[in-house]
Each structure stands twice: as C-alpha cells, then as structure tokens.
C-alpha cells in the first residue's frame, strides 16, 4: 500500500495534479519505511520459513495466549513459543489442542507449514543430561524451521568414547549445534571431528566457579577448533535458529 | 600401511596362522588411529579446500619460514600465514616472491588452488577504520578458501545512514562477517537487515571501559538479532573460516 | 532565623554589647549551615521546579505514605514516588485519589505545579518492550519536571528501519533519553542521528551473558557517538532527571 | 545535487519521459542517503560549530598530518587533534605554526571559527594534579566548541574545604565536567552543590585496586547525586563535547 | 590442667621418677596448646573486654539460644548476637528479658560489664538512611566494647554541607567508622576532615552497577585520604570492633 | 557381546564365509566402543571400588529413587547420593532403611562393599563450622571409597594454635582434603605443615567480598605451599574422590 | 590574615563604617576557608607530626626535586618521598646528602623532627621476600612518623612455625602492619595471634590467578579475624600511615 | 643446641638447681621452634627427596647464582632453578658446567641424588605446542623428584584421535599432569580416559577472551571428570611437584 501511495504521488506528478517541488518535499518527509525499503521485513518470515516466535519468559500467561492467537489469525508460518511458564503452556494447550508442548524447555509449537527447508541434516549434541532443556529448545527450533534433526545426548568430553561411538551420525550432519555447561569443552571436541560449522551454546549448568555459564562461555570462545562460533548462555533458540539458516544456505 | 597390518592379520586368521582369540586380543590393543578411523583427518584439508594455516604470532621468523617451506613441499592447498611479524613476512616474501603480504593484518598468502568453493558472496563488514586489520584477516582467509568477498568498511552504528547506503550490497551476501570494537553494536544492526547468518568478530579496539574487547564481546553475545553468532576477540581468521564453511554448505 | 542570629550578633557588635574578639570566636565556631550558605539547598527544589522524590524500593508502605504526607503538607512542588511496591501504591492511591499510578515502573505522581520548564521537547526512546518499565520511569520523571515528552518505543537496532521511521520525531527533541538492555546499542545509533545530548540508560534486561545489565552498560560507555553519556543500570529516574536539567539549560 | 537528481526524475515523470513504474523502481533502489535524508550529516559540523576532530592515538604522525591538511583545505570549522603523540605534534606544529599544542593531553588546536556558542559558563573541575591531562582535553574541547571555561583543579574530596572555597565559581556554571580518578567521588560532591548537569569523567589514575579506572567508573555510575552522568574512562574529549552541547541547549 | 601435667612431669624429673631423656622426648611430642602458649586465647576476651559474639546469620534460632545460654553461664563479658533473624531475636528476648534488641541490624545485646574502655569518643558516620542497619551494627558493637559513640547519620557526599555542619562533632572523635554504599565516597571526605584513623565499611546498598557493594568497596580502597582502611562489605561488626581496639590503644 | 560379534566375524574370516576385504571394511566402520576398547569403562567402577554416584541436586525425588533402585539391582559397589534434597532423602530412607543419611551435606549412602582400599589415613580438615557440610560430603565420599578418615574441624588460620594442636593427627595422613571459605587460607597453612598432597576445597561461605567463594578459590590457587591443588567451589565430593584415588596410589 | 579580614569587618561594623546588612551580605559570600574553619588543615602536619609526603611515582625527577626543595624551605616536619625512580633518587641524594635512600621501595627520607610519637611498638610483618619492598615502604613511613618499628620478614603461612617463633616479638606491638601477596593469608594468622589492630596490605606479588593482587586483597577483606582492616594493593605507605595514627591514639 | 638447652634445664630441675615453678615459667616462654617441633621442617627436603628450588623469576642473576652456590655447599638433594632469565642461566651454566639448562621453560637443574622415588610412571600431557614451556617445567620438576616421566605433546581436544592414539601410554601412568591453554578442555578428556588423579595446569596461552588463562582455569575447575584438580595458571612446577608427591604415596 505504501508503494501505492508512492505510485499515486507519481501519477499525480505525471498528471500535473502535484507539482515537482511539492512532490519533492513530500518525498523528503515521507517516512523511510513507507518507501517500501523495509517492507521485506514484514514478509520475511513467510518467504524464509522462519517461524513466528514468542519469547515466553516473564510474560503473563494471558499475554502469551493473546499474542499467539493474533499470530495464528494472520500468518501461515509455524508458531513457536519459547520458555513458556507452566500456566502459559496450559492455556496454550487448552486453546490449541493440536499444539505440542515440550516441558523440559518450556517450548510450545504449532505446525502450519511442514516444508523441509534444511538441505542436509542438522545435529544437536549435548554434553550432559542437565543440558537437555537447552538442547531441546535448539532441536524444537530447528525442526520448526524445517530441519531433519539428529539428536545426540550425554556425550561430554569426560567420556570421549561415547562421542566417538556417535562419530558416523555426527559426520552426516551439515551443521552442528553443540550444547554444554560446566567446562564447555564439547564444541572443541566435536569441532575437531567434523568439517562443518559448529554452533556452540554454553549453558548455565555447573557448580561454584562455573559462575552461571561464564566458564563454559569463555571455554567455547577460546576453542582451538576453527569451525566453532558461540551464542549467548542458555540460548538454545539462537543456536537452533542460526544452524537452520546455515542448513538452508 | 595400518590397514595393511590389519589385512595381514585377517589373512593370517583366514589361513589359520593366527587363531581367533589371539587376533581378538591384538585387535583390542591395536591403537585407534591405526585402524584408519582417523585417517580422514589427514586428508581433510585437501578434500575440503581448507588452506594450510600457520599462526605466526609469537613464532620465530625462521620457524615460520621452515613450516611454510615444509607445507609447500607436500601440499596442494593454499598457504595462509596469519599475524606474521614484519621479520617473518620479510623472510617469507624473499623466499616466496609470488606470495602476497597484507601488512595491516600481518597475513601472508600463497595461492596454489584457485577453485571457487563459495556458493554465494561473502560480506566482510567493519565498523571503524581501526577495525580494518581484523577485517582484513577475515577477508584474506575467506578469499583463500575460495570466496568472492564483498568488503564494506567504516559503517559503524553511530552513522547508520552509511550502513543503509550499503544495504543492497549487504543483501547480496549469503553470509556476513561483521567486525567491530568499542560497543560492538554493528552485528545487531546488520543482523536485523539481512536474513543470512552473521558471524560477529569483536575487536580489542576501544578506550578505557572497553576492557580490551570485553565490551564488544558481551554486546555481540547479547545481540537482539537471532542470526548472530560470535567468535573470539580479534579472531578475524576464525570469522572468515566459519563464514567460508557456511558459504559452501 | 540563622541569618537572624548572625544579624543579632552583628547588631551586638555594632552596639558594643559583644566585642570584636568574642564575635570573631563565635563566628569561627558557628556551624557552617547556620551562616546560611547551605540554605539555598532547602529552597532549591522550589526554585528549580524539581519534584520532591521518594525512592520507594525497599521502604515499608506505611513509611512511604508518611513521607509523602509530610512532603504534601509543606511543599508546593510535585511529588514523585519511584519504584513503589504494590502495597505502597495502594496506600498512596487511597490517600491521594487524585494521584497517578504507573504500574509498570511503580511510579506514583501527585501534581501541584504544572509549569512547563523544558524549553524544547524531550525524547524517551527504548529498544524493546521489556525496557518499557525503565523508560516509563524516565518519562514520568521528565513530565513531572515540566517537560513535553516524545515517547518512542521498541526501536532496537536489530530493526533499524523502525528507528529510521521515527527520525523526524527524534530530531525534534532537544535532548534524548535512550533506554536499552541486551547489547545496549541503541544510544550509539540514536547518537549518530541527532545533534543533541543523549542520556543512555542501560537496563538489566537480557539473558546469560548480559550479566544483569553489565553488557549494556559497557556498550554504552564505549559508544562511538560523542554525544552519549551514561547513568546507572535501570536508572530511569536519573536519565529523566538529567535530561530535564539539560532541557531547561 | 541528489535532490537535483530526484527533481530531474520527477520532471521526467511529469514530462512523460519516464513512466510511473520505472520511476517507482528507481526510487525503490535509490540509495537512502541520495534522497537527502542524511545530507544534514555532511553539513552538521558546520551548522553546529562542532570542530573537525582527529583522534591521534595510534595513528602514524604522517597520517595525522595528512588528515589535518585535508580537513584544513575544505572546512571552516576549528580543527582539534586529540592525543597526538609527540612526533605527530611536532609535524603539526611545523606545518601549522599558528596551532596550539597542549603537551599534557597531547591536544593540538587550530582556530578558524571563534564564535562563542556556549550560552553560559562551562566548568571543568578535577580532583588531583594527575587528572589534569584528562581535564585539559575536556577544556580544550569545550573552548574549541565556543565555550567560556572555568577551570578548577585539585579539589578532591579528601580536602573538601578546597571545593567549598570554589563554590561561587562553581555555581556560575551552566554545566560542569568533573574529572577524577582513584575513588571517583568528586562528581557526587559537586553534583550535590550545583543544580546543573554534571558530566563525570573517570580517569585511569590510581593504584592497585583502581583497576585502571574501574573503581572511579563504578563510583560515578553509583553517584547518589541525581544530576550526574558518566562517559568512558579518560574520555576528556567526550566530557567536553557533551557539556558543550548542553551549554548550547 | 595441662600446666599441671607439665608440673607433674617436672616434679617426676626432679624426683628422679622420669629421667631427662624420657622427659625430653615427652616434651617434644606434647601438643602445642598443652604447654599453655595458647591459653591466653581462652582468657583474652575477659582481659580485653571483648564481648562474646555469636554471628546469628544462618544459624537455627534454637542453636543461637543454646550458644547464648552457655556463654551466659560461664562468662562475665557482655554478649552480642549479630544478625539474629526475627525468630532467634524473639527466643533471646523471651529468655533474656533484660536484653536489648536492635531490629534494623538484628543485633541483640546483654550487658554484664559496663566498664568504659574507650579512651576517647568513637564516631559512627553513615551516608544514607539505607546504610543505617550496618551503622547500627557498628555502633552496638562499639558500645558493647565500652565506647562512648557519636552517631552521625545521613551525611552523604551529595549533600556536603550536612557533613560540614557536623564537623565539630566529628573532630571530637579519636577514631571514626564511616559506613556508605553506592559510590562509597564518604570515607574519603571524612578522612580529609579529621586527623584520626577512619575505618570504612562499604555496604551492599545501591542499584545496578553497585554490584552488591563492589563499587563502594573499590572506591574506599582507592581513597585519596591516607588515613582510611577498609573492612568487608556490610561488615558493621568488624568496623565497630577494630575501631574499639584503636580507641583503647 | 560386542567381542562376540568380533569373534564371530573372525570365525567367519577363518572359515572363509567372509573374505578379508569385506572384514576389513566392516572393521573400519564398526563403532569404536563395540570393539571393546571402552568396555573397561563399564567395569571400571567395580574394579576400582569407586562407588556409584548420583548427584541429587536439582533432580526430582522420584527420579533419584528410581536411579538408586536401578543401580542397586545391578551393581555390587557402594551407592552414594550427594546433595539429596530432604524429600529425596526421605524417599531413599524409606526404601532403603539400612542407608545412612547425612543431613548437613544431604548425602545418602548404602554400603555393599566395605573393602578398605586406602593405603594410609586420609584427613579432612575444615576451617569453620559453616564449612562442615562441604567437609562432611568429602568425608562421606572418602569413607565410601574405602578410606580411614581423620576428621579435624574448626581450625581456621585466625586460631592457628588449634591447628598446631592437631599437628600429630594431621601428620599421620597420607593425603589431606582441606575445606575453607572466607579467605581460604587454611590449605596454605596445612600445606606448610605436612609433606603429603593437599586437596583444597573452597566453600561459598563468607560475607560481601567473598563473592560466593571466589575469594577462597583465588586464595587457594595462589597458595605459597607447593603441595596444594584445588577443586571447584563447594565440591566436597570432588575433594574426597581425588584424595581417595591418591590414597590408593 | 583571613581572620584579620573578618576582624576588620567586625571593627567596621562596630565603628559604624559598614552597616549590619552589608556585613551580613559580605559574610554570606565570604569564601568558606577565609573564615578560618579550614585553617587547621594547613597546620595539621606540624601539629600531628605527619611528614611532608611526595608520591614520586610518575613524576619527573626535576619535579620531585623542586617540590622537595620547596617543602624543605618552609616546613619543620620530616620529608618522605615514596616510589622515587632511580633518577629522582639520585638528584635528591646529591642535593640532600644527609638524606636516606631505600632502593627496594624507592623511598627517600630527610629527618628534621625525631620526636617519638608512637606510644608503643609498631610491627611490620611480611610474608615473603618478594613483599619486602612494600613492607619497607610501610616501615620507613612509620619510622618517619616517630615509631619504634619491629620488623619481621618472611613468615608466610606455609611455614607457620616461623610465625610462631616470632610470637613474642609480635605480641609486643600495639599495632601491626601485615604485608602479603599470593593468597594473602598472613593477616588472618597474625590477627588471630594478637589482640591489637592489624592493617593488612595486599601486594601484587603472585603468579597467574593472583590477578595483580586481587586474590590477596579479597582474601584479606574476608579475613576471619575481626581485628583486620585493609588498604589498597601495594600501599605500604597507607599501611604505615594508618598504623602510625593508631599508635598515637 | 635448643634441645641441649632443654636438656640442661631438665638436668637443673633434676639436680634441684632450678625449681619446678621456675622451669614451668621458662618452658612457657621458650620459643616454639626451639623445642624442636619444627626442626623436622629443616630436614624435610632431605628425607623426602624434594629438590632445593629457587624461583628465578624477577631475581637478579647474581642473586640466583649466590643462592644456588650456597645450596650446593650444604645440601645433598638436587637443585632446581625455575624461570631463570637468560643472564641467570648463563651464569649458572658457567659456574656449574654439569648443570642442564632447559631454555623453553627457563629451568636449570643440577643432579646430586638420582634415587627414583616415583612408584609408577608419571605422565605429562599438553594440548598445544605453545603449552610446551609449562609442560617442560612440570616434566623437569617431576624428573628431578625421581620420576619416570611419559611425555605426550600436542594432543588437544580439537584433534581427539591424537589423544586416543596415545591411550595406552596414558593408561600406564599412575598420575597425570595435563597442561592446556585456550579452552582448557584437555584435563576433562584425559580425566575421563584414565582412573588415576589428574593435575590440571592452565596456561596463559590464548587470544582475546582467554583473559591470560582465566578461561582455561575456569574450564578446568568445572571439569565434569571427578579426578581432576587444578593448580595456578602457568604453574608447571606446582603440577610436577604435586604429581611427584602422589606418585610416591
């Protein structure tokens, strides 16, 4: 419609209804977005197959539900709610019985578009059972964005043979998300075994000197494997999101 | 040859020269790599088109030269020396007159394989002129790995119109490396304008409370754009390397 | 009255009732404030139009009410309670039904002086919806100090077109308060678009490596825009207060 | 000229030489800045009386000289070089004998525009003699931007009577820049004595647990005076710049 | 009794019942404390007038009561319970109706020895009303150790005239305890006004970048006044204790 | 069974049912663990006398019980649950009435193997009564691993005579675990008195600037005694575990 | 002379030459210090026997000499230069051959007043030989302020018997300065052995995780001995200064 | 001789020359060490086979030589100088031509006692070639203390097959020292593969966010392997020393 306004203005210039100086003035003060430069943003999700995402943490359950309903009315892409608190998950499940709830991570998903967009497989690997909630968030995000996810749990570096045992599965993947707390060493180990990009997700799991994930975060940033990049602590969504973009590339 | 040993053992089993229990015992104690599981690693560089890389920092010039000569004898992939100190760069240039020296970043490159492996364009964007050495390292790495690099300099967020001016160039890229010091805000801005993965490289450029890149690093890890991942401070090589992997994906 | 005591002393010196040495001695030991040097402090609020302010956080509801009542008895300036906990807000609202309560920030305001003291407009800009409570505190403070406030929400740098869309509004302001959590990049972006002073308010909004606002704080202190200064984390009041002083200058 | 291009396009639309769809397309792809939105940035310095600034730190002397010469050719505003290293200062002084060199802070200034733009006085206050280089940078910046600067040195809080002694001078100012290292307490003390905005500049001066200015920075951010805002450690330029903007407000 | 054992041994040596070599051997292996070297420690409290102290924080109410009862049975010195939680304070008050409870700091005191041991006056100064609980702990400790305490509240550096107003009171003291949160600047200001030792007690009072007292702690350690020393964050007891020792010196 | 598969394969080679190349190929792709290399890990606990360990913290009580039941079914080694929350401890005690519950540390132990594996005595020393829960965890771990534990409590460095008094007991030990919070100085003191290895366990006990054990941790890492090594904050289990390994060495 | 001005004014009031209102006005605007309140500061050094002190660090040798000469002209108190760099020490020694130079700490002292002001002995204790420069600075300061100093070196907690051996010397002191780097445990140990105040001086001596004295500083702040207070890292002067004040109390 | 004094005293008691009370009094005040309790410390090195150690860092070459000469005169144990700067190493080598100099780590060793005290093998493992200097210090220390050292270099976790390849060598060891910089993940990997104690030595090797070894240190403290303990950053000596003690246990 903004382009329509611009077209209208140009038609008026053409027809003489608006003179050039007036058009010039209006163009100069016409807001940026109205010129259509940013319009792609509104349609980006649909074009890209990115889901609609609601960050549930700290939002009132009714608030989460209301946003979800509004997004479901207009869009055609999948809906992903992350870190929904139990009350919000209940409301969502009652309102959308077809939705899937993932209690470990608090994710809630509604499918509307099951197109597979990932060109290859996407692995989500985690170090310990305590890291599973964050890994689940990454996995649900990646699936919702149309990826075939290989899930490998509990292969921390203090039991390297478990990782080696999964080497073939790992090497099938076109991109890996590696989730680890404590010393955060798993991404380096995985990074050395695969040739694809590794997205490292530090978790806040740990005792004492883990300082809520700082130890894992620093460890990952200092990885001696060149194919490792890092997202924020406990940011399973971010890990799954970037990996999905890479898998489409 | 290790496979040969294994073959020999199997032949002996077949021929009855070694009985099954003895073979079993020998197999259990045969070192891991000798079974050929890890052999792929030795050939990975060649198969992947990854360059041979020498981290020059802190190494003696003669040492750098010696490693470079050895790698040039055997390999067929490109050679990249990063952060070569001036004396090392001099030695390399004299020994390999065909090599390219990049004095800002200290990189030195020898081409042997000009195959383009990047499927799309790869953008290297930097915030300020002081960040150029790190951006150059990323760019040289990406080129050496077979990418067509779009280079956009000096588009920090305090002059957002410069970034907007480059929007079309930016949106051509299939992956972006974004290099910034000080407040490290550029990756978030770029991340919001493109749909592809953004590799953020914090630099140690800044005054006082930048604490040698900590401010930029934390800023990037907390990016509100979901498509941003982060590598270590000043790690231009890492940024270029991962972006190259993504561009081949 | 202190001046009266001083006058009395001088009259006594003049009349000969107190000799010079005795007067000298008394003057030397007369407490500082009694000489009236500090008296301006008592009247500063009234002269300046600064509101009476009660920091509600951690104070007992009855305590907050009692202070509010005492200030309302004597003064003529506006009353602002910040971060009043719900119980305190209830008590205040019941006692002063004409008061305004702002539940997001916990502010409570009583108007008594509606003089506009701001010479120009004062913008309060915030990056994300989670930053609104802090922005609201800044806005309420600025309004209470007699400013016409332009409020621009949810224009974080990961969606720069939204900021550009508000450029004209922004450029109307004589001073900007910019509130942001996570990477804290918005003040740099705004600082580059306007020529006036920008007061940056970091918020504690963020995940993991935001370390309760440290990331945003460091980002803002390292802003590459020269017109940015910073106040404490979540200190919406401080941001609104300083901006109001600037707008009167 | 960009507006001219736009005008030309509109004239062509009007005249029929370009049809509406083609114009629409060209408008959509016309770079942002070309529409004139950002043009103010190019002229901002001149309109605002902001000096041309070269950050000298870490730049080669010849480089600094070359930039200075180029800026002197085209502009009409004052030129300020900050933190010029001795060799750069020498080159500048030889090339521009009329320039002023301030060896403590390394500033170098060339006057071209002596318009006084500050409406009131601007105070630059510093705590100890070791803080003078940073205070000098603030003062030179403020003078170069057209302010009448009151300079008050060596009035740290451990000798409060010295500060009280300067109270009248201090209260003349419309804005204060307060520079302090070590415990960084001076801005709070000044902030409580004046009603105007105070820009606090922490310095890296101190021993041991000052951690290169971190102690002063944190102290200033936590000031109990509501009229204090903070810039980066040792950022005298930033302090002087923002104070100048406020003094023009 | 240990001395008795030693005496017995010596008697046996004297009487010939134990020969010298055997005695020598037994002396070499006799535990340290048994020789009476450490016995002074057991009596130190009584000799010094130090109170018996129970740190109440985190102890079960019954536990606190039981320790208090045991100490009251044997000793003759005053009893001080610090940071008693409400339930513990209730139990103590019911059991010892003559005891004094200080609800702000959670201190509980039982007098048994009212000897004044402080040679001069001891000042306890605090910056803001929020710091009073810590100041109260310091004051109660100092009183319990036999000091005449001058209490000066709410004289933070942002209202320096209030501090100046109390100058005469302050200068009466032989030692000062100065309690402050936020920027922690008050000890420097006091330190510059008095000639006696100043014990600085940082408090965890503050917002955001106070980082639970870190800002105040660093500020105090970097005090530009040479007569300032520092104890742990919120350690009112420690401040009062050391000041009492100094006042007896 | 994996060895059986391998044996089967070898038998088939021997019998001619599988030719050498096919066997070679299958061996190359047979997962690592299946070759029995890692099998020792499964049996390591039994061979070593290490207990089965369940970290109870953050696990649901039913979950803890279920794991405990499963481990009791199959194994023959002792079972140790650390940091069981009260509800979990109740469930365990009801199901295994013969088990021992240690409420201070939350440990729960079931004996099945009372073999003494420690060659010498193992000392667990702690600085203050608040450190006892962590010391208890170390002691229970060490006992469960077959050690004769000497327990020495409340011998912090501010009462060095207490430590000296226990010198003989201390010097009996072949390895010491030293647990301390606050300044974490005890390991250095013990380290200087004994010739054996000292495992230092920092605790999170402390006020203000202990920063949850950081002060003790740094203190221990900087110990001037050469025989001190450190484990994570509050990691009594780790301290007891490593000390047990050393005592078997 | 300021009192003279005040006297003159009062005489004029008395004589009628200045009327009361005019006098009142002049008094109100007369600078603080001129009323003589702060005059004590000028004479404090003399009355207290505090030396004149020049912090030599970072000052040009000629500058140090010039200040020293000026102070020697006017004063009668001792002169202490701390941390004089070798060139400055040379200049001082040549100009004042009677001065004492202490090369380890860089102190330089000139006696003019040998009055003993310390009532008791003052102990300066240090942990390791590397801490001696800081201990020397404390000792020289204390001697210069009129104290009889007991010096005890190299008694770190990893060799506690050395400390015990010095117990009698230690217990003679009325105040102790305890200097230590690395884990900073010595003040706690000393604090537990003496009943007097202990001033802890952390030093920057240490490896790796000492983080330039942070470990020692935190250790000392968390001392479990109640009689310990702390000054800045490497601040031997501050330790000796405060201890001297205490010793006079 | 101290024992002689004690014997003399006892003889006097026996003979009646000193009565019991006088003897008691003298015993109470006789210094601790004189009773011979601490004498074992003087002989500890010889009994234990610990080398005499001189920390060379920061000591003047002549000083190092002088200490070395003195130790060589009296003792019979081996001499180890760590971190000798080149000039010191030269002096030592010239004076003791039979000594061994290790230029990477700066160690210098003189054998006098070649008794093997280690019961088993001691492995020193390092992650990258840059960590070799620290590993060498550990190895030289361990050898000097009588251990048979297995040295495994360059087996960082990003190339796990290299570690697996060395599994048999690794499992021969009775104790492992594992040296790593960057992410510090190797100790966890090794800890999971061996059953013996692992001493982790973080190194300061790394870029940017390694913060001089902090990342590796935190990683190691948070190891998910229970048999890992940690020493200070770059403390190869400490790692080798403790491992040697364990290997003798």
pLDDT tens sequence across C173-213? 999 999 999 999 999 999 999 999 999 999 998 889 999 99
Same domain? For E167 and E70 the reply is no
Instruction: Count the Cβ atoms, other than its own, within 10 Å of residue C70.
Output: 11
Rounded distance, CA D184 to CA E219, Å? 7
Q: Which residues of B151-176 are buried (b: 16+ CB within 10 A; e: fewer)?
A: bbbbbbbbbbbbbbbbbeebeebbbb
C228-249 pLDDT, tens digit per residue, is: 999 999 999 999 999 999 998 7
Domain count, chain F: 2
**Residue C165 touches partner A, C-beta closer than 8 Å:** yes
Q: Is position H116 within any domain? A: no
Shortest Cα distance from C229 to chain B (angstroms)? 13
Q: Which candidate in E5, E7, E14 is best for mutational testing of the H interface (most H CBs within 10 A)?
A: E14
pLDDT at A79: 94
CA dihedral of D182, D187, D193, D197, whole degrees rounded to 10: 170
| Touch E-A: 3+ C-beta pairs under 8 A | no
Q: Is position H183 within any domain? A: yes
Q: Are C33 and E165 within 8 A, CB to CB?
A: yes
pLDDT over threshold 90, residue G158: no
Q: Are G33 and D209 within 8 A, CB to CB?
A: no
Least CB-CB distance to G249: which of E44, E221, E246? E246
**Residue F230 touches partner G, C-beta closer than 8 Å:** no
Instruction: Count the Cβ atoms, other than its own, within 10 Å of residue A15.
Output: 11
Cβ atoms of A126 and A184 closer than 8 Å:
no
pLDDT at D4: 65
**Residue E103 touches partner C, C-beta closer than 8 Å:** no
Tell me which of B111, B129, B164 is where a domain ends: B111
Looking up residue H145, the CATH number of its domain turns out to be 3.40.50.1970
Q: Which candidate in A172, A209, A212 is best for mutational testing of the F interface (most F CBs within 10 A)?
A: A209
Q: Are C207 and A31 within 8 A, CB to CB?
A: no
pLDDT over threshold 70, residue D2: no
pLDDT over threshold 50, residue H53: yes
Same domain? For B126 and B107 the reply is no
**Residue A196 touches partner B, C-beta closer than 8 Å:** yes
Q: Are F27 and B35 within 8 A, CB to CB?
A: yes
E28 vs F44, higher pLDDT: E28
Q: Are F161 and E233 within 8 A, CB to CB?
A: no
Q: Is position C36 within any domain? A: yes
Same domain? For G7 and G66 the reply is yes
Same domain? For G45 and G75 the reply is yes
Model-level pTM?
0.84
pLDDT over threshold 90, residue G12: no
What residues contact residue C15 under an 8 Å CB cut-off, 6+ apart? Answer: none
Nearest CA to B191 out of B164, B225, B220, B153 is that of B225
H127-149 pLDDT, tens digit per residue, is: 988 999 999 999 999 999 999 99
Cβ atoms of H104 and H157 closer than 8 Å:
no
Q: Are E24 and H7 within 8 A, CB to CB?
A: yes
Same domain? For H67 and H39 the reply is yes
Rounded distance, CA B19 to CA H47, Å? 53
For β-strands A79-82 and G100-102, DSSP reports them as unpaired
Q: How many interface pairs between B and C have CB atoms less than 8 angstroms apart?
A: 127
Work out the angle between the directed axes of helices C20-29 and C2-15 (0-180°, nearest 10): 160
pLDDT at C1: 34
pLDDT at G161: 81
A39, closest residue in chain D (CA to CA): D28
Instruction: Count the Cβ atoms, other than its own, within 10 Å of residue F48.
Output: 16
C-alpha distances (whole Å) from H234 to each of A12, B28, B55, H217 are 76, 37, 21, 10
Q: Which candidate in C154, C159, C209, C216 is best for mutational testing of the A interface (most A CBs within 10 A)?
A: C209
Q: Are D36 and A28 within 8 A, CB to CB?
A: yes
Lowest mean pLDDT, pick from D28-32, F8-12, F104-108, H48-52: D28-32
pLDDT at A33: 34
The residue length of chain F stands at: 249
- Scan for tokens 């004029």, then name that residue: G12
DSSP, res G158? G
Least CB-CB distance to E175: which of G53, G231, G249? G249
Rounded distance, CA B207 to CA C218, Å? 11
Least CB-CB distance to C241: which of D227, D237, D242? D227
Nearest CA to D241 out of E195, A189, C198 is that of C198
Least CB-CB distance to F189: which of G160, G214, G221? G160
Rounded distance, CA G192 to CA G169, Å? 15
Cβ atoms of H173 and H150 closer than 8 Å:
yes
Same domain? For E126 and E229 the reply is yes
Same domain? For F130 and F228 the reply is yes
**Rounded mean pLDDT of G178-198?**
94
pLDDT over threshold 90, residue D17: no
H31, closest residue in chain G (CA to CA): G165
Confidence of residue F11 (pLDDT cuts 50, 70, 90): confident
Q: Are D183 and E223 within 8 A, CB to CB?
A: yes
Cβ atoms of E117 and E248 closer than 8 Å:
yes
Same domain? For E158 and E202 the reply is yes
**Residue F88 touches partner G, C-beta closer than 8 Å:** no
**Residue A202 touches partner C, C-beta closer than 8 Å:** yes
Nearest CA to G193 out of G216, G219, G160 is that of G160
C-alpha distances (whole Å) from E75 to each of E43, E79, E237 are 10, 9, 21
Cα C47 to the center of its chain, rounded Å: 16
C-alpha distances (whole Å) from G72 to each of G75, G76, G146, G147 are 6, 7, 18, 22
Least CB-CB distance to F161: which of E38, E58, E212? E38
Terminal C-alpha separation, chain D: 31
Q: Is position D55 within any domain? A: yes
**Residue C37 touches partner G, C-beta closer than 8 Å:** yes
Count CA within 13 A, CB hemisphere, residue F29: 8
Same domain? For H96 and H164 the reply is no
Range of the domain at H233: 121-248
A238, closest residue in chain C (CA to CA): C207
**Rounded mean pLDDT of A35-41?**
31
Rounded distance, CA D231 to CA C242, Å? 14
Same domain? For F139 and F71 the reply is no
Cβ atoms of D113 and D122 closer than 8 Å:
no
Cβ atoms of B224 and C127 closer than 8 Å:
yes
**Residue C87 touches partner E, C-beta closer than 8 Å:** no
**Residue H27 touches partner E, C-beta closer than 8 Å:** yes
Same domain? For G128 and G244 the reply is yes
pLDDT over threshold 80, residue B41: no
Tell me which of D57, D81, D111 is where a domain ends: D111
Highest mean pLDDT among G90-99, G158-167, H202-211: G90-99
Q: Are C226 and D237 within 8 A, CB to CB?
A: yes
pLDDT at F3: 58
C-alpha distances (whole Å) from G173 to each of E38, E140, E241, G125, G199 are 18, 27, 18, 11, 12
Q: Are B27 and F16 within 8 A, CB to CB?
A: no
Q: Is position B116 within any domain? A: no
State the chains in contact with C (3 or more Cβ–Cβ pairs under 8 Å): A, B, D, E, G
Tell me which of A111, A135, A154 is where a domain ends: A111
Nearest CA to F243 out of F113, F153, F165, F150 is that of F150
pLDDT at E232: 96
Backbone angles phi, psi at G163, to 5 degrees: -70, -45
B149-194 pLDDT, tens digit per residue, is: 999 998 988 888 888 888 889 999 999 999 999 999 999 999 999 9
Q: Is position D116 within any domain? A: no
D154, closest residue in chain E (CA to CA): E224
Same domain? For B142 and B242 the reply is yes
Q: Are F212 and A208 within 8 A, CB to CB?
A: yes
Shortest Cα distance from C38 to chain D (angstroms)? 9
Nearest CA to A163 out of H200, H157, F47, B44 is that of H157
Which token pair is D145?
């931007």
pLDDT at H46: 35
pLDDT over threshold 60, residue B36: no
Residues of chain E with pLDDT under 70: 1-5, 25-49
pLDDT at A47: 38
SS3 C102: strand
ipTM: 0.81
Q: Is position C116 within any domain? A: no
Q: Are F227 and H247 within 8 A, CB to CB?
A: no
Rounded distance, CA G75 to CA G70, Å? 9
Which token pair is C6?
């001083």
**Residue G222 touches partner C, C-beta closer than 8 Å:** no
Confidence of residue B48 (pLDDT cuts 50, 70, 90): low
Q: Is position F116 within any domain? A: no
Shortest Cα distance from F128 to chain H (angstroms)? 23
Confidence of residue D3 (pLDDT cuts 50, 70, 90): low
């Amino acid at each position: 419609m903004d382009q329509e306004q611009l077209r209208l203005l140009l038609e008026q210039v053409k027809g003489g209804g608006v003179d050039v100086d007036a058009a010039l003035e209006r163009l100069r003060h016409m807001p940026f977005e109205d010129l259509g430069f940013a319009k792609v943003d509104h349609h980006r999700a649909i074009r890209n197959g990115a889901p609609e995402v609601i960050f549930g943490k700290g939002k009132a359950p009714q608030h989460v539900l209301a946003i979800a309903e509004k997004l479901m009315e207009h869009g055609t892409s999948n809906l992903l709610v992350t870190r929904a608190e139990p009350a919000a998950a209940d409301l969502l499940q009652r309102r959308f019985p077809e939705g899937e709830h993932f209690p470990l991570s608090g994710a809630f998903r509604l499918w509307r578009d099951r197109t597979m967009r990932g060109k290859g497989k996407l692995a989500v690997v985690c170090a310990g059972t305590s890291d599973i909630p964050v890994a689940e968030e990454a996995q649900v995000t990646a699936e919702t964005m149309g990826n075939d996810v290989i899930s490998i749990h509990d292969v921390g570096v203090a039991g390297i043979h478990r990782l080696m045992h999964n080497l073939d599965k790992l090497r099938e993947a076109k991109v890996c998300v590696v989730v680890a707390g404590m010393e955060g060493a798993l991404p380096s180990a995985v990074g050395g075994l695969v040739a694809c990009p590794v997205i490292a997700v530090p978790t806040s799991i740990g005792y004492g000197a883990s300082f809520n994930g700082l130890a894992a975060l620093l460890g990952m940033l200092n990885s001696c494997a060149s194919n490792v990049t890092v997202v924020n602590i406990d940011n399973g969504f971010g890990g799954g999101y970037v990996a999905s973009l890479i898998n489409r590339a």
